[in-house]
Amino acid sequence: HRAQLEAHEVFQDFEMQRMGPDGTPQWASISGEPIFDDQGRFTGYRGVARNITERKRAEAEIARLAFYDELTGLPNRRLFHDRIDTALARSRRKHGRMALLYIDIDDFKAVNDSLGHDAGDLLLQEIARRLERCVRKADTVGRLGGDEFVVILEDIHGPDDATVVADKIHHSLLQPATIAGHLPHTQASIGIALHPGDGDDADSLIRHTDQRMYRHKERD
Give catalytic residues, as residue numbers.
Answer: 147
SS (H, E, C) 171-213: HHHHCCCCECCECCCCCEEEEEEEECCCCCCHHHHHHHHHHHH
Length of the chain: 220
Contact present, 213 and 102 (Cβ < 8 Å): yes
The whole-angstrom separation of Cα 199 and Cα 208 is 9
Per DSSP, 148 falls in state E
179-185: long-range contacts (C-beta < 8 A, 24 or more apart)?
Answer: 179/111, 179/115, 179/119, 179/122, 179/123, 179/126, 180/115, 180/116, 180/118, 180/119, 180/122, 182/115, 182/119, 184/111, 184/115, 184/119, 184/123, 185/107
Residue 130, sorted as left (phi over 0), alpha (psi -120 to 50) or beta, turns out to be alpha
